[in-house]
Amino acid sequence: MLTEWEAIQTRISCRSYQDRLIEPEVLGEIKSCIDALNAESGLHFQLLTAGEKGQSIIKMSPAMFSGPIYTFAALVGGEDPVSSEKVGYYGQKLVLYATRLGLGTCWVAGTYDKNSITVDVPEGEKVWDVIPMGYATDKVPLKQKMIRAAIRKSDRKPEQFLESDMGYADTPEWIRKGIEAILKGPSAVNQQPVNIVYKDGKAYAKIWKDGRGLQYNDLGIAKRQFEVGAAEAGMTGHFLPGDEAEFIPE
Ligand SMILES: Cc1cc2nc3c(=O)[nH]c(=O)nc-3n(C[C@H](O)[C@H](O)[C@H](O)COP(=O)(O)O)c2cc1C
């Protein structure tokens, strides 16, 4: 099984799936992961899965996706920014776990038919995103390659993620590894709206750009990515919740 850091290196948004069901043991692992994440966060993530091959269990936009989807997670949580950030943070934990198990995933907030799914949504909450899961085709079709290349064109350079009096190369390795992980991570329409402020030896995750109402999802994702990167450089810790919140080393 891959480590979380290795999962960060290999993960890309999978938009082309094999006609293959996920094995029951693997589904069991995902289900346990979701139960643990819900228990810790108070969110209401749900795993929906088709028992057999045939019809997709969710209708994805054919402009963006190919192949049947037999399993997906619905990321359900409150509508406020705190919940939105949690959805991002715990959703990315789920994505990295699925990646470690060899599955393809994609964060999807918009490009699917919302009427094609039935999900339990408690009062005052909503489905923020869905995460289709399955096995990526061995070869990524040209169309999906082009979609990714077009969106990833907007990639920023690592030094653009840093707000500090210090030059990028002079920052400690855990800051640079954390930023590398954020850069490699997913963000809505690849807006990469989260920077790292590094000041007096402390790191803060900051939204520098508003992003279509999904910037708090992106903040949570970036925080998780940074934590894994920093840990890879020997600095384990976690961010406090909220915008411009501090990274607390353990
Ligand atoms: C919160 C969020 C929502 C997203 N929504 C969609 C979507 O509706 N459709 C889609 O095709 N990709 C969606 N994506 C995937 C991003 O486009 C993708 O992560 C980004 O372009 C970076 O590419 P990569 O994940 O392949 O590294 C979403 C990503 C995030 C984080």
The pLDDT tens digits for 37-70 are 999 999 999 999 999 999 999 999 999 999 999 9
Rounded-to-integer distance, Cα 204 and Cα 36, Å? 27
The model's pLDDT over 156-181, given as tens digits with 9 standing for 90+, comes to 999 999 999 999 999 999 999 999 99
Rounded-to-integer distance, Cα 49 and Cα 51, Å? 6
100 and 187 together in one domain: no
Please tell me the total count of domains within the chain.
2
The model's pLDDT over 102-147, given as tens digits with 9 standing for 90+, comes to 999 999 999 999 999 999 999 999 999 999 999 999 999 999 999 9
Indicate the pTM of the whole model.
0.98
8 and 129 together in one domain: yes
13 and 101 together in one domain: yes
> Are the CB atoms for 68 and 20 separated by under 8 Å?
no
Sign, Cα dihedral of 193, 210, 213, 125: positive
Predicted confidence (pLDDT) at residue 10 exceeds the cutoff of 80: yes
171 and 48 together in one domain: no
Domain coverage including residue 79: 4-143
Assign residue 213 a region: left if phi > 0, alpha if psi is -120 to 50, beta otherwise?
A: left
Question: 143, 167, 190 — which closes off a domain?
Answer: 143
134 and 66 together in one domain: yes
Q: Is 140 in the pocket of ligand 1 (CB under 6 A)?
A: no
Question: Starting at the edge strand that comes first in sequence, how are the strands of the sheet with 162-164 ordered?
Answer: 162-164, 194-199, 202-207, 245-249, 237-239
Question: 87, 120, 143 — which closes off a domain?
Answer: 143
pLDDT at 210: 86
Task: Give the closest residue (by CA) to ligand 1 atom 7.
Answer: 108
Within-domain flag for 210: yes
Here the CATH number for the domain that contains residue 175 is: 3.40.109.30
Say what percent of the chain tops pLDDT 70. 100
127 and 175 together in one domain: no
120 and 37 together in one domain: yes
- The average confidence (pLDDT) of the chain is 97
128 and 190 together in one domain: no
103 and 158 together in one domain: no
Q: Is 129 in the pocket of ligand 1 (CB under 6 A)?
A: yes
Predicted confidence (pLDDT) at residue 208 exceeds the cutoff of 90: yes
Predicted confidence (pLDDT) at residue 94 exceeds the cutoff of 80: yes
Question: Among 8, 14, 107, which is best to mutate for testing ligand 1, by the most ligand atoms less than 8 A from CB?
Answer: 107
Q: Is 66 in the pocket of ligand 1 (CB under 6 A)?
A: no
Q: What are phi and psi of 173, to 5 degrees?
A: -60, -35
160 and 131 together in one domain: no
Within-domain flag for 120: yes
pLDDT at 83: 98
Rounded-to-integer distance, Cα 71 and Cα 50, Å? 6
Distance in Å, CA 215 to ligand 1 centroid: 12
177 and 114 together in one domain: no
Question: 86, 116, 143 — which closes off a domain?
Answer: 143
Distance in Å, CA 52 to ligand 1 centroid: 27
Q: Is 12 in the pocket of ligand 1 (CB under 6 A)?
A: yes
Distance in Å, CA 216 to ligand 1 centroid: 14
> Are the CB atoms for 185 and 218 separated by under 8 Å?
no
For helices 81-100 and 215-232, give the axis angle rounded to 10 degrees: 50
Predicted confidence (pLDDT) at residue 211 exceeds the cutoff of 80: no
Using the atom order of ligand 1, give the atom closest to the CA of residue 217. Answer: 1
86 and 23 together in one domain: yes
Sign, Cα dihedral of 4, 10, 16, 19: negative
Which tokens sit at 91? Answer: 């959703």
pLDDT at 212: 76
> Are the CB atoms for 60 and 72 separated by under 8 Å?
no
Q: Work out the average pLDDT over 73-90.
A: 98
